[in-house]
Structure 1
Amino acid sequence: MQYFWAKAGLDFFIAFGVVLGGAMLAGIGSVLMLLPPVSMMLDTADRLKIWAIVAAVGGSIDPVRVIESNIAEGHLSPAAQQICFIIAAFLGAHLGTELVKLLCKGAA
């Protein structure tokens, strides 16, 4: 059970960090390229959201294979765990996107 919470927490924070870090670096890069940083940060956060989830849960199709193979064999617990990990990663990516929107709201 401790593994489950540790992995879910890491997936959350990895996805959160990918979105927040990517948006912040896009903002810095846009300033160096003389582009509007707020719009670049918002656009980057939205585009990175799905990739943050993929990166957090393993970066490949393996989590989907785990779900499929365990459901096919009748083992629902590992499949449910993988779905929970994906949900935790989604929440982290979504929170990161919302934080970027909140930070950019004051600058717009």
Structure 2
Amino acid sequence: MNMMLSKALLDFFIAFGVVVGGAMLAGIGSVLVLSPPSSIMMDTASRLKIWALVASVGGTIDPMRVIESNMLEGHLSPVAQQLLFILCAFLGAHTGTELIKLICRGAG
């Protein structure tokens, strides 16, 4: 149980870090090319959201394979775990996107 919660927490923060870090670096890059940072950061955060989810759960194929094979065999516990990991990764990516939106709206 402890390993499951730690993996879920890691998935959350990996997805959060991908979105926030990517958007911040895009903001720095936009300053260098004389573009408006806030619009570039918000656009980048929304485009990175799905990729943060994929990066944090380790790719889309393996979790889907675990869900499929265990669902067909009637083992619902591994299916629930994988869905929890995907949900935590989504929440991390969404939280990161909302934080970037909040930061950028406050700057304008």
* Superposed displacement of residue 59, structure 1: 2.2
**1:16-31 matched pairs, under 5 angstroms:** 16-31=16-31
1:92 aligns with 2:89: no
The 5-angstrom pairing of residues 5-44 of structure 1 reads 5-44=5-44
Distance 1:83 1:60 in 2: 12
**What TM-score do you get using the length of structure 1 for normalisation?**
0.98
Distance in 1, matches of 2:60 and 2:84, equals: 17
Q: CA deviation at 1:106?
A: 1.1
In 2, the alpha carbon distance for the partners of 1:31 and 1:20 equals: 17
How far residue 10 of structure 1 moved from its aligned partner, in angstroms, is 0.1
Please show how residues 65-104 of structure 1 align to structure 2 within 5 Å: 65-104=65-104
Provide, for residues 8-59 of structure 1, a one-character-per-residue CA deviation record: whole Å limited to 9, x for no partner: 0000000000000000000000000111110000000000000000000012
Listed as ranges, the gaps of 5+ residues in structure 1 are: none
Q: What's the CA shift for 1:83?
A: 0.2
Task: Give the fraction of aligned pairs with identical amino acids, expressed as a percent.
Answer: 73
Q: Distance in 2 between matches of 1:64 and 1:29?
A: 35
The Cα RMSD (Å) is 0.6
The alignment's TM-score, normalised by the length of structure 2, stands at 0.98
Amino acid aligned to 1:100: I
Offset from partner CA, 1:59-85 (integer Å, 9 cap, x none) = 241101110110011100001100000
Structure 2 unaligned segments of length 5 or more: list them. none
Instruction: Using the TM superposition, name which of 56-65 and 6-15 deviates more.
Output: 56-65
Structure-2 residue corresponding to 1:3: 3
> Whole-Å Cα distance in 2 between the matches of residues 33 and 41 of structure 1?
14
Distance in 1, matches of 2:89 and 2:48, equals: 12
